[in-house]
Amino acid sequence: MTREESVPAYWAQANRALAREDQAMAGLIRRYRGMSLVSRGEPFATLARSIVGQQISVKAADAVWARFAAVVGAPDGAIKAEAVLAAGLSGLSDCGLSARKREYLCDLAARFASGAIVPERWQAMGDEEVIADLCAVRGIGRWTAEMFLIFNLLRPDIYPVDDLGLQKAVSLLYFSGERPAPRALAAFGERWRPWRTVATWYLWRSLDPVAVVY
């Protein structure tokens, strides 16, 4: 998959719409011109990386993921469910993962390997339907499901109000450093519909110019 193929088709349209309505967002769009959300299109790796990144910083998650990928990654860099199953709980013990996260990753791998999870069906489902489907999997909550919708399915209007980075960026850019309550944050995000994924991506960049690719 080339970068051009993986960039969302709506990106330019969303940029124009957001820049017209929000001066602060327009500044971010200018600052990060030429960059965009991209997807690697690998459902298992996207979900696995989201589990690895739960409740830790981006820097810490990158370090743990690098160790995890060194254990289970194929020569071409692909992360496959079968390799995670082959490693097992003990094989993942030196990756810096908590015992709970190792259990989650092995359970996720078992579901993919057995066919209990069928990613193809998500393409035809609405955002909340996909979230409900994913949250039925052990270790996957709403935040992880939302990361999947953003980074794998490239859905245009996801707004992960529980994400610490989003909360911090909105507080700094729009609330003079005061972090809004969840309900206020959700209400504030309505200004960016139907492109809240794009707004969220730029808000993340305001804190860290290096884009995470799940």
**pLDDT tens sequence for the chain (214 residues):** 444 457 899 999 999 999 999 999 999 999 999 999 988 678 999 899 989 988 888 889 999 999 999 999 887 788 999 999 999 999 999 999 999 999 999 999 999 999 999 999 999 999 999 999 999 898 899 998 999 999 999 999 999 999 999 999 999 999 999 999 999 999 999 999 999 999 999 999 999 877 766 5
Q: Judge residue 204's burial from the number of C-beta atoms within 10 Å of its C-beta, 0-12 exposed, 13-18 middle, 19 or more buried.
A: buried
Q: Are 154 and 37 in contact (CB under 8 A)?
A: yes
Rounded to two decimals, the pTM is 0.85
- Number of Cβ within a 10 Å radius of residue 60: 13
User: Which residue type, as a one-letter code, is found at position 20?
Assistant: R
Q: What is the pLDDT of residue 120?
A: 92
71 vs 147, 184, 188, 213, CA distance in Å? 24, 42, 42, 20
Per the omega criterion (within 30 degrees of 0), is the bond before 75 cis?
A: no
**Residues 29 and 189 sit within 8 Å (Cβ to Cβ):** no
pLDDT at 91: 95
The contacts found for 32-37 with CB under 8 angstroms, 24 or more apart, are 32/202, 32/205, 32/209, 35/205, 35/211, 36/7, 36/8, 36/11, 36/201, 37/7, 37/8, 37/11, 37/150, 37/151, 37/154, 37/197, 37/198, 37/201, 37/211
Within 13 Å of residue 187, how many CA atoms lie on the same side as its CB? 5
Active site residue ranges: 163
Q: Looking at the DSSP assignment, which residues form a beta bridge with residue 56?
A: none
Query: What pLDDT sits at residue 210?
Result: 73
90-118 burial string, b = 16+ CB within 10 Å, else e?
ebbeebbbeeebbebbbbbbebbeeeebe
